[in-house]
Amino acid sequence: MRFLIRRLGFFVLTLWAALTINFAIPHMLPGNPVTAMMARYHGRLHGQALQAVEAALGINSHQSLLSQYVTYLHNCATFNFGISVANFPTPVTSVVGAAIPWTLGLVGVTTVLAFVIGTGIGALAAWKRGGKLDSVLPPLFVVATGLPYFWVAIMLIMVFAEINPWLPTAFGSDSSIATGWNSDFVSTVLQHAVLPAGSILLTSAGVWVLTMRNTMITTLAEDYVRMARAKGLPGRRIMLDYAARNSILPNLTGFAMSLGFVVSGAVLVEYVFAYPGVGFQLVQAVDNEDFPVMQCLFLVITVAVLLSVLLADIVTALLDPRTRSAR
C-alpha cells in the first residue's frame, strides 16, 4: 500500500509540473502568440476567435499571472481547452478526440503486437542460443530497427501500392463509404491500416527482440535457474516461470514509455500515409500555429506516459515482490 501511495504521489507531482510548464511556455514566448497569429492570418481572425485563443492559452492582460494560472488549471480540470484556431469554431476537445481513436487503433495495437512478438522471439532465441532461430531472426529484426520509419513506409507504398496495387496508399478509410460500425467501413479501415502498421511493426519489434534476448541470457546463468534444472523441472516451465518472467521485468518500463507515446502516434508514419491520427494532427497544428491544439496534445501525451509508467510500476511490483519491500 505504501508503495502504491508513493507512486501516486509521484504521478500527481509530475502531472502538476507538466501542467505548469504547459502554462508557462506561451508566457515565455517573445511577444504575444495571439498577436503573431493575427498577423499570420492578415486580420481574418475576428474578436471572438482572438478571445477564444487567449482563453485557451491562459493569456489575459486584465488578470494577474496567478489568476490566469488558477483559471488555466480549472480549464484543464474541466477539459476546457478552448477553440481550435485552424478549425474555428470547433472545440479543441473535438479535434483531438476525433484523432485519438485512429492512433490508438493503429499505433496502439501495433506497439503491443511488436512487444509481444519481439519479446517472444527474444525469449526463444535466448533459450535456444546458438540455434537456427537465434542465428537468423534477431539479426534481421535488429537491422530493420535501424531503418527510419518513413523510409520503410515509402518502400511499402512502392511495393504494395504502386508496383502492385493491392493496398491503398493514404488516409484512414475510403471516403466513399459511410462511417459506422458496418462490415464495409471496418474492412476499408483495416485495408488502409495494413501498410502503416507494417512499417511500425518492422521497425520497432527488433528492440524488444534484442533486449529480451540479452536479458534472458544473463538470467539463465542465475543460481535459481540452475537449481530448477537440477530439480528436474520441465524445460517449458523453467523458460516461462523462471527465466522469461524475471527477464521481462526490465522491459516493462521501456514498454510503458513506448505505450505512453502511442498517443502521440508515429508522427512520420501518419504523415506519410496522411493517416488521421494524433501524430498527423500534431503536424497540422504546428503548421497552422494552432497553439490550443498543441497545448492539448502536449497534455494528452504527458498524461498517457505518466499513466503507462504508473501501470508498469504496479505490474512490476506484482511480478517482483522485492520492489515492494526495498527501502
Q: What is the pLDDT of residue 49?
A: 64
Instruction: Identify whether 325 is part of a domain.
Output: no
Average pLDDT estimate for 77-85: 78
Residue 173 phi/psi, 5-degree rounding, is: -165, 175
Residue 180 belongs to a domain: yes
**Residue 258 resides in a domain:** yes
Cβ proximity of 212 and 248 under 8 Å: yes
Please determine, for residue 303, whether its predicted confidence score (pLDDT) is greater than 70: yes
What per-residue confidence (pLDDT) applies to 260? 62
CA 107 – CA 270 distance, rounded (Å): 9
Kindly state the percentage of the chain with pLDDT values over 70: 80
Mean pLDDT of 11-17: 84
CA atoms within 13 A of residue 212's CA, in its CB half-sphere? 30
Given pLDDT bands bounded at 50, 70 and 90, which one contains residue 208? confident
Q: Per-residue pLDDT tens for 108-147?
A: 788 888 888 888 888 888 887 877 777 777 778 777 777 7
181: CB partners within 8 A, 6+ apart: none
As given in the structure block, the three cell numbers for residue 18 are 507538466
Instruction: Tell me, yes or no, whether 67 lies in a domain.
Output: no
Total domain count for the chain?
A: 1
In a domain, 143, yes or no: yes
Q: What pLDDT sits at residue 59? A: 58
Q: How many other C-beta atoms are found inside a 10 Å radius of the C-beta of residue 234?
A: 10
Q: Of 34-48, 163-177, 297-311, where does mean pLDDT reach its minimum? A: 34-48
Residue 196 clears pLDDT 80, i.e. is over it:
yes
CATH for 168: 1.10.3720.10
- Using CA atoms of 283, 288, 290, 293 in order, give the dihedral in degrees to the nearest 10: -30
pLDDT digits (tens, 9 = 90+) for 33-54: 566 566 655 556 566 666 666 6
> Does 250 have pLDDT greater than 80?
no
Number of residues in the chain? 327
Q: How far apart are CA 249 and CA 278, in angstroms?
A: 29
Q: In this structure, is residue 90 part of a structural domain?
A: no
pLDDT at site 189: 80
The residues facing 91 across adjacent strands are 83
* pLDDT at site 266: 67
**Cα angle value 243/244/246 (rounded, 5°):** 70
pLDDT at 30: 59
d(CA 188, CA 176): 10
Q: What is the pLDDT of residue 168?
A: 79
* 285-296 residue pLDDT tens: 877 777 778 888
pLDDT attached to residue 1: 65
Q: Which pLDDT belongs to residue 309?
A: 77
Distance, in Å, from the CA atom of 111 to the CA atom of 45, rounded to the nearest integer, reads: 40
| Residue 22 in this model has a pLDDT that exceeds 70 | yes
252 in any annotated domain: yes
Domain that holds residue 226: 97-283
- Kindly state whether residue 27 falls inside one of the protein's structural domains: no
How far from the centroid of its chain's Cα atoms is residue 278's Cα? 10
